Structure 1
């Protein structure tokens, strides 16, 4: 792990957490959480945690072209371990740990194949999250008059849908003409970074191979379906949290907010995305006119409640599989 990026992540998280809480009285936050509907918050936690088994199930058809039909158990345990590592260690260490745990438990899955499959996983996530976000912006219940850089949200939404469609089209070009893409990467790397040419070409070949799921209509539909279910369930969990603390917002607000959150947590941060999550939530809910202290109260409550279960489960599986942090970090360094 790179110490410089780790320090930057912690500093940015601390700065964003300070910025989010600087004008919000902590006693007001405590009062909101104390008066929240406990049963709705509990249901919100259960629904929010259920997305992780869905993510594990989505992983199966992505890996089928290179590993065959894998049992659910190793996929689920590896996913839980990865989520736990993301919550405890900086720089998204869980992404590597997830692939490493699966390759350890199922030796038939090569480490390179596992890592490549996670790239496909994230590609589908990005497409679906932003499609849902842009769809929410076209909802008649979306606050009128909201703008970004002087453009109406409907214009942004239409442009965003077009951008997502174009990105998916690029993926299909890569799938249909893999040799052209690899050859282009080889020529460019040979001119710009000749010493790293083989390494760069290897990564490009890995990425091209990982997109094999797009060649199979059945697998593509399965991955897309599980991705859609995952993010609709996540939005439902967010909305149940709204209801628990008294935020009056439509379900489409949760679809919009999870897009804002996805952008927010993409920046370097501390483990568990503390600070960036609360800041992004505050910004996203402000669009719907939610008072800041209510938005921050929801963000802190939801974040803590959904942080604990998957972290505990991941830690238990980490010990059960017999992994050590040193094993993961050494493999990542190699």
Structure 2
């Protein structure tokens, strides 16, 4: 009886930690900390009056940013087909990607990819783990495409300035290579391992899971398939990289178009830190810091962080909400702990014990 209460306390504590971290990190875009010194603890980085008066001047880059951010959804829907094991109509893929984006940005739990895979499994009869594997390959190839764009951007006018990012990027490259190797190994050996476990009559759940994983990662078994999927993964990365580059260019950062991929890479690395429940705070901290590092003023860096966050959330939430409405899904079913999430968990549990049919 104490365990549920303990979990509730731990969950509440994590929420409090996340909120506090988010507030501190968001504040870093607008204030500098002055602990132990004379004056207030928080010192504004700029004049708030001038900051608010100049916000309308950013519309010149904010509107293209909105359009490019929204373009990520259809581009991801096109990309997704390259890793799926069967043909799925484009409109269906688009709606599921949009619903996932809505869930990720508007609801707690970051269940967007989980929900879109579960909905695909229900509408297209694709096992959930296979659908999840196809999304995992998409995410990995987007990461690869992003790393390529980042290294290409070092050839631009910020080559010297971006030298400070070299250390984290080496780590990112190592992670990228390691994940690619893991996916390729699983794609080639998950099914043989599942068959071996079947013959030995051991671990039936693990055997079934490995069989579904093998199907979901099927693209990774072929160099041609991976190369084709990588080509289609450039679009979902290039659109936001260009959006951030146009934003930096609009702020007057010289050569800002080349730096958009670097900012996007910094965001991806910052928000990939496991166990840190402060995604929005990390976004504000990373984007404002990156903009200042590339030459933007404190005021412009804060506007860059706030408006790009607003633009990303608005474009993806609004389009996702439209897809939610068109598909007749209730918002409460998308919440963490809602009936759809519980159904998804039950579905995965069912798949793990259902007998699979391994290809001959």
TM-score (norm 1): 0.81
Q: Does the alignment pair 1:30 with 2:39?
A: no
CA distance in 1, matches of 2:49, 2:277: 26
Asked whether 1:125 is paired with 2:142, we answer: yes
Unmatched runs of 5 consecutive residues or more in structure 2? 1-6, 33-44, 347-360
Q: Provide the rounded CA distance (Å) in 2 between the counterparts of 1:161 and 1:143.
A: 19
CA RMSD, aligned part only?
A: 3.1
Q: Which residue of 1 aligns with 2:288?
A: 282
Q: Hey, what does 2:256 align to over in structure 1?
A: 250
Q: Which digits, 9 at most, give the CA deviation of each residue in 1:151-209, with x for residues without a partner?
A: xx3x76567546534542343233333356669999xxx9xxxxxx6655655544343
Partner residue, 1:57: 78
Q: Distance in 2 between matches of 1:20 and 1:76?
A: 34
Unaligned stretches of 5+ in structure 1? 191-196
> What corresponds to 2:99 in structure 1?
81
User: Is 1:21 matched up with 2:33?
Assistant: no
In structure 1, the partner of 2:226 is 220
Distance 1:205 1:40, change over 3 A: same
Q: Which has the larger radius of gyration?
A: 2
Shift, 1:102, TM fit: 2.4
- Find out whether 1:135 has 2:141 as its counterpart: no
Q: Describe the shift of the 1:318–1:128 C-alpha distance in structure 2 as closer, same or farther (beyond 3 A).
A: same
> In the comparison of the two structures, how many residue pairs are matched?
313
Please identify, of 82-91 and 285-294, the stretch whose mean Cα deviation from structure 2 is larger. 285-294
Q: TM-score, normalised by structure 2?
A: 0.75
- Cα distance, 1:313 vs. partner? 1.8
Distance, in Å, in 1 between the alignment partners of 2:153 and 2:207 is 39
State how far apart, in whole Å, the 2-side matches of 1:265 and 1:15 are: 16
Question: Do 2:95 and 2:323's aligned partners in 1 also have CA atoms closer than 8 Å?
Answer: yes
CA distance in 2, matches of 1:199, 1:85: 29
Higher RCO structure, 1 or 2 (CA under 8 Å, sep 6+): 1
Q: Is the 8 A contact 1:142 1:253 kept in 2?
A: no
